[in-house]
Amino acid sequence: MAQSSLKDDFDFFRQAVHAISSTLNLEQAMVSIFHFLKRHFPLEAVSMHSLSLRMSALHLLFLVIRGRFHYLDELIPLGEGAVNYLQNLEREVRITSKPHSEQTEVSKLHSLAISPYLPQKDRAYLVALLSTEQGPVGHLALIGSRPGCFNAEHERKLDILIPVLSLAMINLQSHREVTELQRRLEIANLGLAAEMRRLSETPMIGARHGLRRVMDAVAQLAGRDVPVLILGETGTGKELIANAIHRVSSRHEAPYLKVNCGAIPDTLIDSELFGHEKGAFTGAVTGRPGRFEQAHGGTLFLDEVGDMPPHAQTRFLRVLQDGIIQRVGGSRVRSVDVRIIAATHRNLKAMVEAGTFREDLYYRLNVFPLAIPSLRERSQDIPSLIHYYVGRISRRLRLSQTPQLDAESLPKLLAYSWPGNVRELENLVERALILNPQGPLRLHTHLPLESGSKAGEPMVEMTQPQLVVSHPRKSPANGDKSLAREFLSDPTGPSNDSLPTLDQAMTDHILHALRQCGGKIHGPKGAAEVLGVNPSTLRKRMDKLGIPYGRKRACG
């Protein structure tokens, strides 16, 4: 019996080696390994992940399910307890069996992360630590078809494969890296500049998580030329989404021009967009085509279209309706074929109601609206964004090694409201790297602070400081809520030449906005819109300052 068992183990090992060594291509090899393992284990999928101590996260590398390989390269934020749990496992055990995926925080997070590919339900996990003399290579997870499906014999068989799987994984990943470097070198040698520019573009981090719905919508636009209106706060990455839309369009090889309407003076925007004839104005010594003519046959990205002045809106509408333009100072009508992608951080609907944006132009642009979530709405992407920016900026600053993130930072970064969105995060990472290039990076210490708040708490943007009333008074934050009502009915208040505290100034500023908006907080022409903050952020600030809200309470 012992000899028979030994022979069975030898045959099992030999078949595994044959499956693993069938190719140096990582995708093909893992699919081959998956099919082999499926013959011996009751599994539904196989995944590979590793523990990133620098990011306090689980790094998902790939997933093989139903014979299909999915390269993930995603980070899952972990709490301190989960990090310690995985560190202890790496030191003490080679095989971990969990009959139920709900047993530990790590398996629950892993199950949630792969749910776009494998429906989330209770399953068994059998995880092998792959390692060499140099240290851990990663964790190979066999995901069972049902709870409690793995037994002691399955654990024993997987343990037999750990040495060969560990070496194979190192070789396969190294081969993948070498192949990728060779491919990039070939592209450079062939002079494919356009392809190299595409490869060097900022990756769409969050495409499988916080931006998943947006990217699904972008995929639906593939091959279509309809106008797209991208809506989102400043710094959310509207231009990146516009680039993605252009890349999947039928015009991806045609001209692609970008114009920031908010950066062009009102007196010059007509000439910039629609061109001008010789002598049209002082200094126009020659005629010049505008951006619409230059983009003929391709795509024009109009950023901050909400800042376009009324006279330019009229000309723009004519392009959308009739496909024609007329240069400044000219009489000739020219046909243009341009696909429009527009973006703005403004509330165009409210601008239409206020009469500052043409209603007919709004509906021409609003054929396919895309709302980009703010960073506070996609906080699950923050670890991946930090990982990306730390790496990129470290290379740009020519740091000898990439600094690690302080373990205390991530929870506070996840709790922060990020009014400046991804752009604010990038700037914060760069500032931290410049000030402390050796690390560890205590990113949370660089978050903006305000009176009475701690790093990581949301703060109110004072977008209209000229409205702040500069007289002191007892702050409602101290409990005297009647002062809030008094101020709403008495805008002048007591006079005094001394400077108010920040809480007092903020209270006066919010109350001024409430009075101006008739006590309305949410929606068009509400105080939140006037102040340029999220309504929930404003309510939290009002709670902290002791300002009662609700139309009747604020005005009574």
Q: Is the domain of 246 the same as that of 309? A: yes
**What is the C-alpha to C-alpha distance for residues 133 and 533, in angstroms, rounded to an integer?**
54
Give 551's contacts (C-beta < 8 A, 6+ positions apart).
518, 519, 520
Torsion on CA atoms 260, 261, 264, 266, rounded to nearest 10: 180
Which is it for strands 324-326 and 333-335: parallel, antiparallel or unpaired? antiparallel
Q: Which residue has the tokens 């005005």?
A: 555
Dig out the tokens for 534 from the structure.
Answer: 């999220």
Q: Judge if 354 and 379 occupy the same domain.
A: no
For tokens 């000219």, name the residue: 330
In a domain, 255, yes or no: yes
pLDDT of 171-197, one tens digit each? Answer: 877 777 677 656 655 544 444 344 334
The DSSP annotation for 14-32 comes to HHHHHHHTT-S-HHHHHHH
- CATH number, domain with residue 434: 1.10.8.60
Give me the amino acid identity at 531.
Answer: L
Domain termination residue (choose one: 371, 393, 411): 371
Bridge partners of 188, per DSSP, are: none
Q: Of 413, 446, 479, which residue is a domain's last?
A: 446
Answer yes or no: do 337 and 392 share one domain: no
Q: Is 439 helix (H, G, I), strand (E, B) or coil?
A: coil
Q: Are residues 474 and 382 in the same domain?
A: no
| 29 and 155 fall within a common domain | yes
> Do 87 and 37 fall within a single domain?
yes
Q: Do the domain assignments include residue 194?
A: no
> Is 204 part of any domain?
no
Same domain, 495 and 422: no
What CATH number did the domain enclosing 7 receive? 3.30.450.40
Choose the final residue of a domain: 178, 202, 229: 178
Phi first, then psi, for residue 57 (nearest 5°) are -150, 160
Query: Do both 315 and 287 map to the same domain?
Result: yes
Q: Could you tell me the residue range of the domain that residue 548 belongs to?
A: 465-555
DSSP 256: E
Identify whether residues 442 and 307 lie together within a single domain.
no
Q: Is residue 192 part of a domain?
A: no
Per the CB < 8 A criterion, the answer to whether 554 and 526 are in contact is no
Q: Which of 404, 406, 407, 424 is nearest to 416 (CA)?
A: 424
Query: Residue 334: which CATH number?
Result: 3.40.50.300
Q: Quick one: 115 exposed, middle or buried, by C-beta within 10 A (0-12, 13-18, 19+)? A: exposed
456 is a domain residue:
no
Q: Are strands 57-65 and 43-52 parallel, antiparallel or unpaired?
A: antiparallel
DSSP 152-173: HHHHHHHHHHHHHHHHHHHHHH
Number of domains in the chain: 4
Q: Where are the beta strands (DSSP E) in 263-327?
A: 299-303, 324-326
Query: Are 332 and 387 within one domain?
Result: no
Which residues, including other chains, have CB under 8 Å from residue 82's CB and lie 6 or more apart? 58, 104, 105, 106, 109
pLDDT in tens, the chain (556 residues): 455 577 788 888 888 888 888 787 888 888 999 999 999 999 999 999 988 887 788 888 889 998 899 888 787 888 888 888 888 888 877 888 888 877 788 888 888 889 888 988 888 999 999 888 777 888 999 999 999 999 999 999 999 998 888 888 888 777 776 776 566 555 444 443 443 344 345 567 877 788 889 998 998 998 888 999 999 999 999 999 999 999 888 898 888 999 999 889 888 899 999 999 888 887 777 888 999 999 998 999 999 999 999 999 999 999 999 888 889 988 878 889 999 999 999 999 999 999 999 999 999 999 999 999 999 999 888 998 998 899 989 998 888 888 888 888 888 999 899 999 999 999 999 999 998 888 889 898 888 864 344 444 443 333 333 333 333 333 444 444 444 444 444 444 444 445 567 777 788 888 888 887 778 887 777 888 878 777 777 887 888 888 877 543 434 4
**Residues 60 and 171 placed together within one structural domain of the fold:** yes
**Is 413 within a domain?**
yes
Is residue 451 situated within a structural domain?
no
The answer to whether 46 touches 35, Cβ cutoff 8 Å, is no
SS (H, E, C) 101-122: CCCCHHHHHHHHHCCCCCCCCC
Question: Is 290 inside any structural domain?
Answer: yes
7 and 150 fall within a common domain: yes
